[in-house]
Structure 1
Amino acid sequence: MLAERDAGREGARSAYVARAAAAAVTALLCAGCGGLGGDVSPTERGTAAPDGRVVSPLDNPDGTKPGLAPVTTDADEAEARDLIKGLATKGRGPKTGYDRDEFGYAWMDTADGVPLARNGCDTRNDLLKLHGRNVRFRSGSDCVVVSMDLYDPYTGKDIAWKKAKAAEVQVDHVVPLSYSWQMGSSRWPEGKREQLANDVLNLIPVDGRTNSAKGDSGPASWLPPDGRIRCAYAVRFAQVALKYEMPVTEADRRVMLRQCGG
């Protein structure tokens, strides 16, 4: 039984790695095809937001495409469950020693090994450009975003955002850094923690109040208010955990499966 479970987890990890690698190759081949804020073809999966740009996490294994579209078909839910079943589980450890600085300074552009690193623009602005519409920049800059329209997948609402009220949009770590610390990142090399904190796969700009309410919760304690997006959220949580070979709690894994029809 244990051998079968381990084989299933290894199969899920291998499938995820292969898919992410293929996405990375595609991104490299298409370098220069368009800006981060440019048009993206609508996804064939799920339901798109009004701008038609959001992409299902099943079609976005490296996080370099905008948005988070719902997982809606039976076939996609089955694929989502297979991914989630590949997660290892363990109990949540203590928070002792956790500090945000253990993951590098906020929104650093120098976390090697993740998409968009060392492009001259900090991680937060990269995320705003990637996910926003009608993006406007500070005069003389092609990096610092001062206004945009954002479709928030967690609440299903559009946000007209301006930098003067920056806190109205926060960049969520899908797998919270404190959660990762309690699940083993306290023993990772510093460089790996910096990757987790700045990897676009683990980052989504969302409504600020909603993100604050989430805190460092796992899926068993917090899910997005919009029920239509919960399976997609579980998939993205699983994608991050698999990429960084990080376990989740058994309760979180069980809730994630339930969101996708399990």
Structure 2
Amino acid sequence: MPTFRPCNRHRCVGRNHGGAGQNPSLRLPPAAFGDAWDDDNDAPGGHNGCDTRDDILNRDLTDKTYVSIKRCPDAVATGTLHDPYTNATIHFQRGARVGQSVQIDHIVPLALAWDMGAYNWPYPQRLRFANDPANLLAVSGQANEDKADSQPALWMPPNTAFWCQYAVQYVAVLRGYALPVDQPSADVLHRAAATCPPDNPQREQTRNPPNAAVNVRFCVCSPSLGVRVGQRVLAHAGAVVEAAERVHVLGG
């Protein structure tokens, strides 16, 4: 496991994700992806009066109460997280220390994305990526710290029941932002896809524009995947594998 703290606040300068695209001459500047959770961005949910962290807490937590704060008139004060990474149930209470039990994870980490090509993006695209709900999940703080900026070859959720959905969302983000993946991580994503249920033609298909936010728990889908959108709905293994094969594999 990585030993440094995660880039939970967009301020990562460490390297331990094993990215094959890593270029030591292109070190991640502290503000490369903008200020943490800035609402002034063009991602879905931007400019809505609440910062991105509050948007994701509101999307992913249940049994919520709210409080008005400076950066959000309806910020989540308390709630319950059914953590997809560990399958634990975590009580959230807003506060400097208590609130860290629930953190917001970038499924494709910022530092990894930087090394894999985001260093060449214009600033507005990096800001969008950092705040795109399609790449964000509320998760256990400890799991987020364990993951840090690791890619799938180095870290997968301890909850193996979530591997299918993790692969779906990871691949959707890679394709949506034209990011490559190295061969070891591509292999892991394929194995994760093998845990998905078989295709069911009776399931309704719902397509969404690229990088669109889907306000359903643990399911953010890309049109290239052709999967049904719904609460805790798992994707079709064939669709994940097909999409993963269309992601550029470094050295492949």
Band of TM-score, shorter chain:
0.5 to 0.7
The structure with the greater share of residues assigned to helix is 1
- Equivalent residues of 1:100, 1:177 under 8 A apart: no
Q: Indicate the larger mover: 135-144 or 225-234.
A: 135-144
Question: Do 1:126 and 1:143's aligned partners in 2 also have CA atoms closer than 8 Å?
Answer: no
Tell me, in whole angstroms, the C-alpha distance in 2 between the residues paired with 1:233 and 1:176. 13
Structure 2 match to 1:121: 50
Residue 153 of structure 1 pairs with residue 119 of structure 2: no
- Structure 1 length-normalised TM: 0.63
User: For residue 104 of structure 1, what is the aligned residue in structure 2?
Assistant: 34
Unmatched tracts of structure 1, length 5 or more: 1-89
Q: Which runs of 5+ in 2 are unaligned?
A: 1-18, 195-240, 242-252
SS at match of 1:144: strand
Deviations 1:117-176 (A, max 9, x none): 110000000000011111111257642221111111000111111012111011000000
Aligned residue pair count: 172
Amino acid at match of 1:106: A
Query: Which letter does structure 2 place at the counterpart of 1:256?
Result: L
Percent pairwise identity: 36
Superposition pairs of residues 33-112 of structure 1, within 5 angstroms: 91-94=20-23, 96-112=26-42
Q: Secondary structure at the match of 2:50?
A: coil
AA partner of residue 108 (structure 1): D
Cα contact 2:68–2:74 (8 A) shared by 1: no
1:193 aligns with 2:122: no
Q: Provide the secondary structure at the position in 2 that maps to 1:135.
A: strand
Pairwise CA distance, 1:260: 1.4
Per the alignment, residue 230 of structure 1 pairs with 163
Q: Is the 8 A contact 1:110 1:117 kept in 2?
A: yes
**Residue 248 of structure 1: how far off its partner (Å):** 1.0
Q: Does the 8 A contact of 1:132 with 1:150 survive in 2?
A: yes
Q: Does 1:248 align with 2:178?
A: no
> Which of structures 1 and 2 has the larger relative contact order (alpha carbons within 8 angstroms, sep 6+)?
1
More strand by share: 2
Alpha carbons of structure 1 residues 179 and 139: separation in structure 2 relative to 1, 3 Å: closer
TM-score, normalising length: structure 2: 0.65
In 2 relative to 1, CA 145–196 (structure 1 residues): closer, same or farther, beyond 3 Å? same
**Deviation, structure 1 residue 219:** 0.4
Correspondence 1:213 to 2:142:
no
Mapped contact 1:124–1:171 kept (Cα < 8 A): yes
